[in-house]
Structure 1
Amino acid sequence: MTIAPMHVSYSKHFRGTLVRNRLAVSAAVAIFVAASPALAECSVSSDAGAIAKPIDMTVQTDANIVASMSLLPKLMHIDYSSAAGGKPSCDLGQFTAGAASYELYGDDKAGRRRTAKPARKGDPIAQIVPVTDIIKAINASKQGKSATVEGYLLATVSKTEFTGWRYYTGMPDTATLKRDMAEALGGSTAPIFRNGADGKTEIFVPKR
C-alpha cells in the first residue's frame, strides 16, 4: 500500500526535473544562436574586379553580346511568371527603389541566381542572368562543348517587358547589386535594350 504514494511522488519529481532540463536546453540554444552570427547570416560569392562594362555597338563583340542578351528571354524561358515563381535560398536583405520595397535573394547554384522580389505583388522583378555569346555558343556546340559564361546581365522583368540595364564582366558584390537594381527599378539609369510584348527589341546604346 505504500508503493502507490512513492510512485506518485517520484513521477512529480521526474516531471519537474524534465521541465527544468527543457528550459535549460532552450536557454542554452537561445544563447548559442544569439552568440553565433553565422547561423543568422547568409552570403554568396562575387568576382573580384567585376565591373559594369560600357557597351559600344561599333565593336562587333559588344554587338554580339547585346544580340545574345536580347535572346535570353526566349532561350531561358524568362517571363514575369517564371521570375515571380520560386526564389534562391539565401536572403541577402532589403533595398528600396523609389517608394517600392524589395528583398534580394541569391545562391551559388547553377547560374548563380540573384533575384530581387517586390513587396507589392505585380511590381517589376530584377534579376541577374548569365550571358553567353550566341556565336561562340553555336561554334562550341558544333565541337560538342558547352558555351562559357561571358558575363552577367542585370535585367528587370515586368508583365509586358524584359529590359537589360547593365552588363557585368563578372558577378558583382551584394552592395553593388542592390544599388544598381534600385537604379534600374527606379528608372534613374539608361537601359541597354528592351524587349516589348510585341516581340520587338529596342536598342538604346548609341553608336559612337
Structure 2
Amino acid sequence: MLLQLNGIGNQKIQYRDHSEINFDSLDHYVTLAKKSIAKFSNQFYQGLSAKMLKDEDAISSVANAIMMADWRWDENYQNEKGTKKTRYSYRNQCALWAIQTYITKDHKKDKKFKKKFYSLDHVVESDDDSTAHNFTQDEKMMSPDDILIQKEDKEELTKLIESLLSLDCLTPRQKDYIRLYYFESYTFEKIGQKYGITREAVRQGLNKAINMIKETVNV
C-alpha cells in the first residue's frame, strides 16, 4: 500500500505501509490540514488563513506534514525533561512547520515578482509593452498553473500602482499620466492630444513622475 499527497510545486512525499502504523484516510488528513491552517495561520499575519485555504498545494503540504507526524511519532519517546509528546501535539507542531515553510516560499516568490515587475526604469522609453497587462507573459505560452500565478501577479501590480497614485509628491496631471499609460493603454501621443502637448513632453513628464516616485519610496 502506498499513500501519497502532492506538496508545494513538484514536491511529492510518499509513505510506505507500516505494520505498526494505522494511517487515517487521505480525506481525513486534508480535513485536519484545513483545520490546522484555520487555527494557526493567522497567528503569523492576518489573511494568511484565507490565502492558504484557497491554495490546494498549501493544503496538501500541511496534510503531508501531518501524515509525516503520524509516521515519525513514537508514543514511548521522551525528551530531555522526561516528558512525552502526544500525537495530537506532534501533529500540530509539524503543521506549524509546514505553514512556516509556505510563508518562506511565498515570500521568496513575492520578492522575485517584485524584482521583475516592479522595476520602473523602462516604462518611459517607448509606447511598447507599457501596460500592466503587457508586463506579464503571453498566456498562450504558459501552463494553467502559471496562468493562475500570473493573474495574482497582475492583481499585485495593480495594487502597487494604485498605491503610487496616492502619493502626495505627484501632481494630478502626473497621476493621470500614470493611470492612462498603465491602465488605459494610452500612447504618449494620445496623452499629448488630451493635454495639447507633444509626445516628447508627455514622455519627459512621465519620466519626471517616475523619478519622484523612486525618490519617495526608494525603488
TM-score (norm 1): 0.26
Structure with higher RCO (Cα < 8 A, 6+ apart): 1
Structure with the higher fraction of residues in strand conformation = 1
TM-score, structure 2 length as denominator?
A: 0.25
